Amino acid sequence: MIIPISLVQYILAIIAGFIVGFSLGLIGGGGSILAVPLLLYFVGLANVPSQYSTNPSLTQSYIDFVDHVALGTTALAVGLNAYINSVIHFKKGDVRIFEGILFTIPGVIGATIGGYISHITPGKSLLFLFGILMIIVSLFMLREKNIDESKNIKIEVFRRKLNIHRLVPIGFLVGFASGYFGIGGGFLIVPGLIYSSGLSMIEAVGTSLISVGTFGITSAAVYSFYGYVFPLLSIAYLTGGIIGGYLGTYAATKLAKGLLKKIFAIIIIIVAIYIIFQNLTGIL
């Protein structure tokens, strides 16, 4: 199925990528959760073109196809962006390669299975569940306390030795969620690494990018097999994301991060409610 994409939509994709990158740089984990709804409703992939709108069956097929394309295309962009950011953290010494690889290996298996199951899940059902996930992410963000690693504030209560029995199943489950929803999953990976490997918060954030990047690329590979990835849109997203991430990181040093995260979480809830409302037929 062909999705007509105009030059204006590619420009909007760059802007959408900028918004995602800026939010990630500004507040950290959870920022990429807006990538899918922005691609659908801001860039306009959800708009049914005239050649499909006159036939109800063609309309539904188009909507289902586009829903999956949004997940696959953003998965590629998020994965590539994570790899780029991991280089910065690696230079700072915040990446633990061994723990990152151990966490990622079972996660790749989970992401592959999740991507396949996502492929056979109807688009509206997938987006309905994605809306639920957005609300869960936002609630975690609202409850999360702002931890300033620069002042050496440690969360010792969570620091444990490397535990393979925890790390493998957690890595698999996070990878599955990443593959199923086409997300980076950093908001799940960071606490998972802390719980299973005894890393500090800053180490978990840096190390998580190995998994985020690999899960994103793995998910995108599965989606691509079914024709659900538009590489040029991913590149447009990535371009805007790099610029936005740089500016967002700079702005984070000037603004009250805790308050911004709460505001952003509320925005996510509003967008999630809209997505759930738009895709109620996927469950009913």
- pLDDT of 157 over the 60 cut: no
The answer to whether position 160 is within a domain reads: yes
Range of the domain at 269: 7-282
Q: How far apart are CA 85 and CA 90, in angstroms?
A: 9
The answer to whether position 227 is within a domain reads: yes
Q: For residue 42, what is the DSSP state?
A: I
Q: Which of 118, 101, 91, 130 is nearest to 214 (CA)?
A: 101
Q: List pLDDT tens digits, range 87-106.
A: 877 887 878 888 888 889 99
Q: Mean pLDDT, to the nearest integer, of 241-258?
A: 77
The answer to whether position 194 is within a domain reads: yes
Q: List pLDDT tens digits, range 11-28.
A: 999 999 898 888 777 766
Q: Mean pLDDT, to the nearest integer, of 58-84?
A: 86
The answer to whether position 34 is within a domain reads: yes
Q: How far apart are CA 231 and CA 179, in angstroms?
A: 17
Number of structural domains the chain divides into: 1
Under the banding of pLDDT at 50, 70 and 90, the label for residue 145 is: low
Q: List pLDDT tens digits, range 176-219.
A: 988 888 777 777 787 778 877 777 777 887 888 888 888 889 98
The answer to whether position 74 is within a domain reads: yes
| Listed range (22-26, 85-89, 121-125, 149-153) with the worst mean pLDDT | 149-153
